[in-house]
Amino acid sequence: MINHLSIGVRDIARSKTFYDAVLAPLGYRCLSSGATSLGYGDKAVMLWIGASDSPVPADPNSGLHICFDAPSRASVDAFHQAALKAKGQDNGQPGLRPDYDANYYAGFVIDPDGYRIEAYCGKPA
């Protein structure tokens, strides 16, 4: 249904450092890199990050977050650990969320611009 998502950030270099680190364990990489934009995905760009003087303010009460598919539970763990090392904030340790689904394994972080992001694996252990 959704081809791609775009978000605005204040510091493109900081975002590149962060997203390169956190998306690598999930199998995604920077496919397009310019002075004012970044494009991440596996075969095609699915997440565009653009430099902006006025990005949408992150609001923890809005319900907005970005969820990335993860190939394994170990990759969810690696995503979360990489995010914390890259100056992200913990927003939910990796683990099962049985209230969502019996196999819903996810970790949640907040990126340097305040966007809430998640890595999710629905495969059984």
Q: What's the pLDDT tens digit per position in 84-125? A: 999 999 999 999 999 999 999 999 999 999 999 999 999 998
Buried b vs exposed e over 6-22: b needs ≥16 C-beta within 10 Å? Answer: ebbbeebeebbebbbbb
Ordered by where they begin, the domains of the chain are: 5-52+64-121 (3.10.180.10)
Give the containing element (helix H, strand E) for 23.
helix 12-23
Over residues 1-35, the pLDDT tens digits come to: 899 999 999 999 999 999 999 999 999 999 999 99
Strand order in the sheet with 66-69: 66-69, 116-121, 105-110, 89-96
Question: Which one-letter amino acid corresponds to residue 4?
Answer: H
* CA 86 to the chain's CA centroid: 12
Give the containing element (helix H, strand E) for 13.
helix 12-23
Instruction: Look at residue 51 and tell me whether its pLDDT is greater than 90.
Output: yes
> Does residue 120 contact residue 72 with C-beta atoms inside 8 Å?
no
Q: Which of 14, 103, 82, 80 is nearest to 51 (CA)?
A: 14
pLDDT at res. 57:
86
Q: Is 79 helix (H, G, I), strand (E, B) or coil?
A: helix
Q: Which of 80, 125, 63 is nearest to 98 (CA)?
A: 125
Going by pLDDT thresholds of 50, 70 and 90, the confidence category of residue 58 is confident
Instruction: Look at residue 60 and tell me whether its pLDDT is greater than 90.
Output: no
pLDDT at res. 65:
93
